[in-house]
Structure 1
Amino acid sequence: MVDSPGGESIDTTVREELGTGTFEKGEEGTSTLKLDLDDHPKSLPLARKWVAVLVICSAALCVACTSSIAAPAEAGESRDFGVSKEVSILGVSLFISGLGVGPLLLGPLSEFYGRNPVYWVSYSLFWIFSWPVAFAPNIGVFLVFRFATGFLGAAFLSVAGGSVSDLFSDEEVGNPMAVYTISPFIGPVVGPLISGFINQNLNWRWTYRIQLIWAFFELVALILFVPETYEPILVKRKAARIRKEAGKHIPSPLELDDKRVLHSIIVSCYKPFQLLAYERMALLLDLWNALVLGILYLAFQAFPIIFEKGHGFDVQATGMSFLGIGLGMILALGSQPYWNRFYARQHRKYEGKTPPEAHLLIGMPGGVLVSLGLYWIAFTTFNGVHWILPILGSIPFGTGILYVFTSTFTYLVTAYRPIAASAMAGNSAFRSAFAAGFPLFADQMYARLGTVGATALLAGLTTLMAPLPFIFYRYGAAIRSQSKFAVS
């Protein structure tokens, strides 16, 4: 017999079965199992981890593209279904609404059943429910299943980030997390680009048929190349194997936890809004994020006004006008090595105890670039100005978007670490509400104010929010010290 670290005597045969596994003292004298180092997801080969990350990112990209591919198809949908353009815009708005609601349910489920079951089930249903969208006989069916597919696709906004952090250590996670972060935001930009070519040359229904094909290959790749990464589930599986082969009752921490799925879902539904109600930092940062994402989705209605009506673009060329925003995001991603080195210096400066406010530093240029890009677009939309100038103005706008979200996401997770999932769920719900609502009034706003006035108004709103990272960098620690949710 050998002694475990918790003090129990464990059969040598069981210890051999566990390899280098260790035990911790559990409830009522039981011994709880920990995962072997060699079995840990972080111990996978680097190439294997990056394949999994890229598959997850491409699946998230597919979902994000699906949110915006409906925009260039709106004219065909309005014609075939006999509805107004405002009704066809709901195809975008309802999908985004589903993306906002989905994390409240799908996030807690991953804590009980693991990452992969949530991926497989949600993405399978996402693919299945995309069929009624592609072959909808009327607008009612089309809109109902657009919401359903958005809801199911939300797993890649609420769970996928956890998979990336499961695979990499804190020192290594910067680059893969940056690659994942860009996927949900560059996806809406790529959507009109793809859909513009389709709707220029084919029937609008091919927009969703091609998306169906893409989603099918993503589902196969998820099953084949993404391992389970959630450590409590892996420990639970190991405990079950030991019980079966060695006859010893070795409980896992997840089995000792008395949490229930329904209770966790209820908490997931009210905790984010409780945080927004009591935390002015979370509320204001979420409002900033919501405004920026709302403007991005409003651009799917504004760019056709600017480029089709103002410069005579066709649908295909209008889709390509979003390349400026996409290029800006890629430039932001390319700057990630600089920010990694910057935060490494911050880590050394604070001797490993970097305050959450340090993560707001990247948001400072982000807020400035968002406003600068919008002002640039606003004052170059005159018909006599060459069309390349507003597209060039959208480049700093795209860079700023990624900086703003990277800053805010990281800050919320570190400042509200004990309830990080709720902080991110509240952010997602707020963002999705604005992204769903903004496209609905774009036509009326641009008709009343003109392209210059409407875009300048949006730029002015972002200018009002741009000081937030500067303010919270200076006063965030003092505010956190008085909070009942944030870490002090």
Structure 2
Amino acid sequence: MVVIPKATVLHPCIRPCRVQYTVALDTISPASVSTIENGPLQIRDAKQSDPFLVTFDESYDVDNPEAWPKGRKWAITDVLSATGFNRILVSTIMAPALPTIAKELNMSSTESALSLSIYLLATAFGPLFIGPLSEIYGRQVVLHASNIWFLAWNIACGFANTKELLIASRFLAGFGASAIYSLAGGVLSDLWRPQERGRSLGVYLLIPLLGAAVGPILGGFIAEYTTWRWMFWSTSIFQGVMTAISFDVFHETFAPLILNRRAARLRKETGSEQYYTQYERQVGRQSVARATTQALSRPLRLLAFHPLIQITAIISALGYGTLYIVISSFADLWISYYHQPVAIGGLHYIACALGEIAGSQLGGQLMDVLFRYMKSRSSDGEHIPEFRIPLTMPGAIIGPIGLFIYGWTAQARVHWIVVDIGIFINMFGGQLTGMALSAYVIDAYPEHTSSAIAATQLLKSLAAFLFPLFVPSLYSALGHGWGNSTIAFASLVLALPAPFVIWRYGARLRQRAASTY
């Protein structure tokens, strides 16, 4: 056998793009790899030359997640979606009750704000461990373990009788909740082909996007009509139900692990130790400790050494931080300036949810249309990740426009519907950009999607944790008009040039990037 050139992708289940990644293999010859046509890596000749290489059947394979029936794939997608909804809802549900909680647990204003935002801090660091672990032990066991962990600590929040216990429990609950951020992209990459990326992302995001907005609405009514502890008990009941459903519905989707199990079964049934997978050959020479260390360090290595991850992480962090600036201050705007009741003020979060839902659903449709158009225009008929980037450009303009409208109409205290329209436009534009960047990361890093998303999630969650901390000072010094205009100008300066940089240099940067292993 000879060594495959470094331009070849690791395993046959991955859908590679035209510009490949630096991965050295020593399992099949260069001549054995045929062309790529937006499908699995064709290794028919390799299989014929080495009958012990375990792969998926090229025509149809019942074990290949991409070939599963649509009903099973949508069921798994829906389970992820509902789980994501609950975990995002918990991040914001206690916002309207912070004064009540602070009084009962003798918390300062800083401590009460910390009890809310420390959940987001945990979601910054959790994916750094959970994403790589899912690429070692599979998606299924990691999802189930994180579900149970999150459930236990969310229940503990409801029974907290000291501020220290509440803050600690919120952090640990957020750590478990963070699994959805890195797992979702990996599972969607496992299940759906590039031409289905827009629709699958749109369906997955439909319910979770409600979470950030429904949280304060639900929390406002709970705070007004019952104890704040039901914020955690009610979401724990929902999480318990979803955990039970996921044990029945969620099947393992990580292709390398599925192939490894097939190879192990063949070795046992035949008594021959010659059966192997490309993934086993790649990591077979490494000790468990080295393989684990390499996997756990992957998100930070991607963030430190891959310019494309750095660019997408910064732009995503800016949008995510802006979202949580709005979420953390929106209720106060209606209560303190428009003098509306807590429960009624919380209803304005519906405008946030509707903007994000409209952006995700239209963005999903446009993404698939753009895929077909760009592929047909390509000289060789192949898809490359940079074809996702044009969709980010309108969002980079629409989002700041909405922020300008929101800021100055709030400053002038005009009718509430105009303020809500401004925030709707902002959320719509932000979601267009966010979806396209997520699809780009999934397509650009097919072998380690969860680790790549974990790398971007680090900056996103840190921004969501830090940005709301300076909001009171920002609005106090500049008002809503210039305060939001400052954020909008920053978005235009950073987010607008980024798509052009990725479009022009993305393929070249990916080609030069160090191995994701």
Task: Output the TM-score relative to the length of structure 1.
Answer: 0.87
**Structure 2 residue 93 is matched with structure 1 residue 65:** no
Asked whether the equivalents of residues 85 and 211 of structure 2 are also in contact (C-alpha less than 8 Å), the reply is yes
Quick one: structure 1 residues 304 and 171, their matched pair in 2 at CA, closer, same or farther if it must change by over 3 Å?
Answer: closer
Cα drift, residue 45 of structure 1: 1.9
Task: Specify which of 337, 341, 345 is matched with residue 373 of structure 2.
Answer: 345
Q: What is the match of residue 14 of structure 1? A: none
Cα drift, residue 262 of structure 1: 4.3
Task: Specify which of 339, 358, 365 is matched with residue 394 of structure 2.
Answer: 365
Asked whether the equivalents of residues 115 and 167 of structure 2 are also in contact (C-alpha less than 8 Å), the reply is yes
Q: What is the match of residue 10 of structure 1? A: none
Asked whether the equivalents of residues 132 and 296 of structure 2 are also in contact (C-alpha less than 8 Å), the reply is no
In structure 2, how many angstroms separate the alpha carbons of the residues matched to 1:428 and 1:147?
16
Q: What is the match of residue 53 of structure 2? A: 32
AA at the equivalent of 2:62: D
* Secondary structure at the counterpart of residue 173 of structure 1: helix
Asked whether the equivalents of residues 367 and 465 of structure 1 are also in contact (C-alpha less than 8 Å), the reply is no
Q: What is the match of residue 256 of structure 2? A: 232
In structure 2, how many angstroms separate the alpha carbons of the residues matched to 1:267 and 1:183?
34
**Structure 2 residue 190 is matched with structure 1 residue 166:** yes
Task: Specify which of 337, 349, 359 is matched with residue 322 of structure 1.
Answer: 349
Asked whether the equivalents of residues 480 and 486 of structure 1 are also in contact (C-alpha less than 8 Å), the reply is no
Task: Specify which of 261, 286, 289 is matched with residue 313 of structure 2.
Answer: 286
**Structure 2 residue 127 is matched with structure 1 residue 99:** no
Q: Which has the higher contact order (CA 8 A, sep 6+)?
A: 2
Deviates more, 1:330-339 or 1:385-394: 330-339
In structure 1, how many angstroms separate the alpha carbons of the residues matched to 2:220 and 2:160?
20
In structure 2, how many angstroms separate the alpha carbons of the residues matched to 1:345 and 1:141?
54
Q: What is the percentage of aligned positions where both structures have the same residue?
A: 27
Cα drift, residue 430 of structure 1: 0.7
Aligned residues: 468
Cα drift, residue 185 of structure 1: 4.4
Task: Specify which of 432, 438, 449 is matched with residue 403 of structure 1.
Answer: 432
In structure 2, how many angstroms separate the alpha carbons of the residues matched to 1:43 and 1:277?
35
Task: Specify which of 241, 247, 250 is matched with residue 223 of structure 1.
Answer: 247
Quick one: structure 1 residues 268 and 183, their matched pair in 2 at CA, closer, same or farther if it must change by over 3 Å?
Answer: farther
Quick one: structure 1 residues 133 and 44, their matched pair in 2 at CA, closer, same or farther if it must change by over 3 Å?
Answer: same
Quick one: structure 1 residues 429 and 260, their matched pair in 2 at CA, closer, same or farther if it must change by over 3 Å?
Answer: farther
In structure 2, how many angstroms separate the alpha carbons of the residues matched to 1:23 and 1:358?
30
In structure 1, how many angstroms separate the alpha carbons of the residues matched to 2:271 and 2:300?
46
**Structure 2 residue 337 is matched with structure 1 residue 313:** no
Quick one: structure 1 residues 130 and 324, their matched pair in 2 at CA, closer, same or farther if it must change by over 3 Å?
Answer: same
5+ residue gaps, structure 1, are 7-21
Q: What is the match of residue 204 of structure 2? A: 180
Cα drift, residue 379 of structure 1: 1.0
Quick one: structure 1 residues 233 and 419, their matched pair in 2 at CA, closer, same or farther if it must change by over 3 Å?
Answer: closer
CA displacement 1:37-66 (0-9 Å, x = unmatched): 122222322122111111111111111111
**Structure 2 residue 412 is matched with structure 1 residue 388:** no
AA at the equivalent of 2:452: A
Q: What is the match of residue 160 of structure 2? A: 136
How do residues 386-465 of structure 1 correspond to structure 2 at under 5 angstroms? 386-415=415-444, 420-465=449-494
Task: Output the TM-score relative to the length of structure 2.
Answer: 0.83
